[in-house]
Homo-oligomer: A and B are copies of this chain.
């Protein structure tokens, strides 16, 4: 259908600006982290902020999210999910902008940590998030809430942990999400009973003398489990 014809149908509608803001979670030995940026434009120039971009005419919403992630982290194929729409009329004093917040989960490594500095960005621990512009703190609170909820019925550790990880590492992740120390034995049993982990012969010796066995998710078994339906209740 031609652009000219298109425009005839909804002639009375008022177009609005629409943006995507990304809540980018990462995880490493120190715990759960969040990537924040020094804002480059007015208003609120140089304040801490989530990273975002306006949605282009020719772009699907999720493409906007992936474009942002590619640009600022260099990563493609990132786990990215819609969080919700932030559309209060007065949320941005500079203009009526509707933001579709998305959250992303990425694996942290040294390369990542360095790359990010070129953008005046910083990985903040989840308990040390500063005051952000607009409603960005609210978005983050909602993202954490959703992460918790999601973790109940989907092993999202997949996305945040390295490909090979130890059970104590996995436990640390859930401890961080739920802000609660889980029992080592019960945690291990429950996870292993799910039968979605493959034990490797290698050990990770970076955190103890004895070393902890590395595991991998077994995608096939995991998918079967998801279909069947299950719920974590950590």
Known contacts A14-B56, A16-B15, A54-B13; decide if A7 and B89 are in contact (CB<8 Å). Answer: no
Q: Is the CB of B61 within 8 A of A95?
A: no
Alpha-carbon gap, A233 to B98, bound state (A): 36
Dominant SS among interface residues on chain A: loop
| A16 and B55 contacting across the interface, CB-CB below 8 Å | yes
Report the separation of the CA atoms of residues A106 and B161 in the bound assembly, to the nearest whole angstrom: 43
Q: CA A1 – CA B96 in complex, angstroms?
A: 12
A206 within 8 A of B: no
Residues B95 and A10 in contact, CB atoms below 8 Å apart: yes
* B59 and A10 contact, CB distance less than 8 A: no
Number of interface residues of A (CB under 8 A): 40
Q: Cβ of A62: which chain B residues have Cβ within 8 Å of it?
A: 87
* Contact status B94-A58, CB under 8 Å: no
Contact B60 A88, beta carbon cutoff 8 Å: yes
A11 smallest CB distance to B (angstroms): 10
Is A115 an interface residue when CB atoms closer than 8 A count as contact?
A: no
* Chain B residues with CB below 8 A from A61, complex form: 85, 87-88, 98
Given the complex, which residues of B lie within 8 Å of A89, measured CB to CB?
A: 58-60
For residue A10, which residues in chain B have a CB less than 8 angstroms away from its CB?
17, 54, 94-95, 97
A7-35 vs B: 1/0 string, CB under 8 Å?
Answer: 10110111111110000000000000000
Query: Does A9 lie within 8 Å of B56, measured CB to CB?
Result: no
Q: Are B82 and A84 interface neighbours, CB within 8 A?
A: yes
Q: Is the CB of A41 within 8 A of B87?
A: no
Binding site for B on A (CB under 8 A): 1, 6-7, 9-10, 12-19, 41-43, 54-62, 82, 84-85, 87-89, 93-98, 100, 231, 233
A-B contacts, 24 of them at CB < 8 A, read A1-B94, A7-B95, A9-B42, A9-B95, A10-B97, A12-B54, A13-B17, A13-B54, A14-B17, A14-B54, A15-B15, A16-B16, A16-B17, A16-B18, A16-B55, A16-B57, A18-B87, A55-B98, A57-B96, A60-B89, A61-B87, A62-B87, A85-B85, A87-B100
